[in-house]
Amino acid sequence: MTNTVRTQVGIIGAGPAGLMLSHLLHRAGIDSIVIENRSREQVEQTIRAGILENGTVDLLAETGASDRVLTDGHRHDGIEFRFGGEGHRIDFADLVGRAVWLYPQHEVLKDLIATRLRDGGDIRFGVTASAVADADTDAPRIIGTDADGAPFEIVADFVIGADGSRSVAREAVTGSSTGGYFREYPFAWFGILCEAPPSAPELIYSASEHGFALISQRSETVQRMYLQCDPELDPTSMSDAEIWDSLQQRVGGGLIEGPIFQRDVLRFRSFVAHQLRHGRVFLVGDAAHTVPPTGAKGLNLAVADVRLLNGAIQEFYRTGSTTQLDEFPERASKRIWRAQHFSWWMTSMLHAAPGATEFDERRRRGELESVVSSRAGRQYLAEAYTGWPFVGGDSAL
Ligand code: PHB
C-alpha cells in the first residue's frame, strides 16, 4: 500500500532552493511538503560555498529566514585579485555600493530548517524520490520511498525539482536525466578546511605562475582555501606541508598555517537544463544549472530562481493566472546565463588550462590587467560578483 499525501506544492530537495521556496510560499499561506533523501544532520553538515550576494542576504533577513546572517555573517566590501606579484583590490562599496557576506551555506540551511520547523513546516528527511509523474496534468506526483523504505507518493498542484545536480525531477522536465547544455573544465579545486585565524580580511583570488589559489574564510578560527589541481587528484596524496608550500607559493607567502582537518576535490562543470518547466513541474537550483565555483554563484542563483518562482506561484493562487508561471523559464534563464557567463569568465581568466600556449597565457594576463586597471573593468566585475539587482538600474533582472 502506497502512502499518498496531498499538498499544494511538492518540493524535492531540502537545499537552499527547496527550503527557501517552502519558506516564501508559507509566508503567502501556501502549503508545501519538502522531501530530502539525506538526514537533517547530513544536510546541516555538508560543507559548500560561503559567499552570499547582497540580494540573497536581503531576502534571508527581510523574510525572517535568518536572523544570524547579519550578526554572525561577515560583510565584505571587496575582494583582492593577485597576479604578477601584486594585489589589486576590487572595492565593491565604492564601485557599486553593494557588498557580499561571508556566511557558509550550511549555516543558511540550519537557519532555513529551524525557521520552517518553527513555522510548522513539513520537511521529511530520509525520503527518497525516484520519479515525477503526470507533469502534464493538474495533479503531478512525486513517487518514492519513505524513511522506512515503504512506497510513498505526494500529489500536488505543482512539483518542484530542487534536488541538486543528480536531479530525479529533471527527467520529467527535459525528457532525460542529463538533458542540458554542458561543459567540463580540465582542472579542479583542491579545497581544505584548516584551524587557523584569518590570513586576510577579505578573499584573495590569486592567479600565479604556479597555478590558481583562493584564500577564503569560515570563522575566526577556521579557514577555507583552494588550490587549482588536476580533477583526478587523490585528496590524500598531498601532505599538509606540501599543501601549505603550494598555497604559500601561489599567493606569494604570508598565510597563517594550521592543522588541516578536511580535504576535498571540487570538479568544475557548467550545466543548464534544456528546459526549466514541463507542465506543472519546475526545476530550480542545481537541478536546473551548475556553475564552476569561481564566481560563488551557485547558492545565489538557486535563491534567485525561487524568488521568481515564488512570485509566479503566488500569482497563480491569488488570481488563477498562469502568466508569470509561463514566463518563468525565460525570465529565470536571463539570470542563469549571465551567471553562467560570469562563472565561466572568472574561471577562464584566473586559471591556466593544461597545454596553454605562451600566447594564451600572455592574453590571459592582458585580460587581468584590463579588468583591474580601469574603473569600468572593476565595476563590471563588482556588479556581477555582488549580484545583479532585481529591480531598478540598467542591469536589473
Ligand atoms: C568559499 O568560501 O567556499 C568560496 C568563496 C568564493 C568562491 C568560491 C568558494 O568564489
pLDDT tens by residue, the chain, 397 residues? 889 999 999 999 999 999 999 999 999 999 999 999 999 999 999 888 889 999 999 999 999 999 899 999 999 999 999 999 999 999 999 999 999 999 999 999 999 999 999 999 999 999 999 999 999 999 999 999 999 999 999 999 999 999 999 999 999 999 998 889 999 999 999 999 999 999 999 999 999 999 999 999 999 999 999 999 999 999 999 999 999 999 999 999 999 999 999 999 999 999 999 999 999 999 999 999 999 999 999 999 999 999 999 999 999 999 999 999 999 999 999 999 999 999 999 999 999 999 999 999 999 999 999 999 999 999 999 999 999 998 766 677 7
pLDDT score of 358: 97
Q: Which residues contact 266 (CB under 8 A, 6 or more apart)?
A: 188, 189, 191, 226, 293
Are 279 and 140 contacting, i.e. CB atoms less than 8 angstroms apart? yes
Closest approach atom of ligand 1 to CA 216: 2
Cα R_g (the chain), whole angstroms: 21
The DSSP element (H or E) to which 334 belongs, if any, is helix 323-350
Model pTM?
0.97
pLDDT score of 214: 98
CATH match of 3-75+100-182+270-353 with 3.50.50.60: yes
Strand partners, 53: 100
Distance of CA 51 to the CA centre of its chain: 9
Burial class (CB in 10 A: 0-12, 13-18, 19+), 150: exposed
Ligand 1 geometric centre to CA of 24 (Å): 26
* Any ligand 1 atom below 6 A from CB of 294: yes
3-state secondary structure string across 79-129: EEEEECCEEEEEEHHHHHCCCEEECCHHHHHHHHHHHHHHCCCEEEECCEE
Distance CA 151, CA 2 (A): 5
- What residue owns the CA closest to ligand 1's atom 6? 296
Query: Shortest CA distance to 142 belongs to which of 167, 113, 114, 165?
Result: 167
